[in-house]
Amino acid sequence: MEQFSISDLGSLLLASLLGAIVGFDRDYRGKSAGYRTLMMVSLGAAVFTVVSQKLALTDPHHQSDVSRIASTVVTGIGFLGAGIIYKSGQDIKGLTTAATTWVAAGIGMACGTQEYILAATTTAISLLTLFVLHRFEAKLAGVNFTEKYRLTWRHEQGDLPHPEHYCDRSLRLSQQKFSKQNDFIIVEWTIRASKAAHAELTSKMLSDPRVMSLEH
């Protein structure tokens, strides 16, 4: 097998550095995979890539498939990313962190093949996505966001409330649950709408004498 070289050392060091840089955003936001995790992911991917190339050189017939180990790295990172994703209520958490872990592995593989410009460019694009687009996403979340409502309804002649009865604006009811408590109906809604729609909905429900209590 070909001996370890200075260029291999440079590949591993750069992979570690770029992986850590990408991971700083996840660490800053308190996510499960921080800079140390992504640093190790990038370093590990670089190591496997370098080793796969060196193993291919030991084949006297030059028929080894260099991409086999690389494809296995991608599959392994997929399992790691799946462990990061979880469900919290109606929301799916960890998708961005899992995707960032996947990208960190790609950066490491690029460093392992000494495609340094590709690795650096991918790192720059990742930082742009994580930092700049995060702010844009936060602004969009302010336009439409999800709110949970729990109201106590005074049951009269079989009528049941519906959010569209109170609000003329566009809204999306993703979950609805009814339960009975003594002579009252407990209504639970999960609604995605604009800030103005939520405000209108809350105001009109509070003014309805059939709504005994409202939590949101």
The count of other CB atoms within 10 Å of the CB of residue 107 is 29
Q: Tens of pLDDT along 24-80? A: 877 777 776 778 889 999 999 999 888 888 877 666 666 666 667 777 777 788 777
Q: 15 with 74, same domain?
A: yes
Q: 80 with 172, same domain?
A: no
Containing domain of residue 157, as a range? 144-215
Q: Tens of pLDDT along 151-193? A: 888 876 567 888 888 887 788 888 888 888 887 888 899 888 8
Q: 165 with 93, same domain?
A: no
Q: 104 with 187, same domain?
A: no
Q: 98 with 158, same domain?
A: no
Residue 32: alpha-carbon gap to chain centroid: 11
Beta strand 91-93 with 184-194 is unpaired
- At 142, is the pLDDT very low, low, confident or very high (cuts 50, 70, 90)? low
Is residue 17 included in any domain, yes or no? yes
Is residue 120 included in any domain, yes or no? no
- Token pair in block for residue 176: 């609805």
Average of per-residue pLDDT values in the chain: 82
Annotate 69-94 with b (16+ C-beta within 10 A) or e (fewer): bbeebeeebeeebeebeeeeeeeeeb
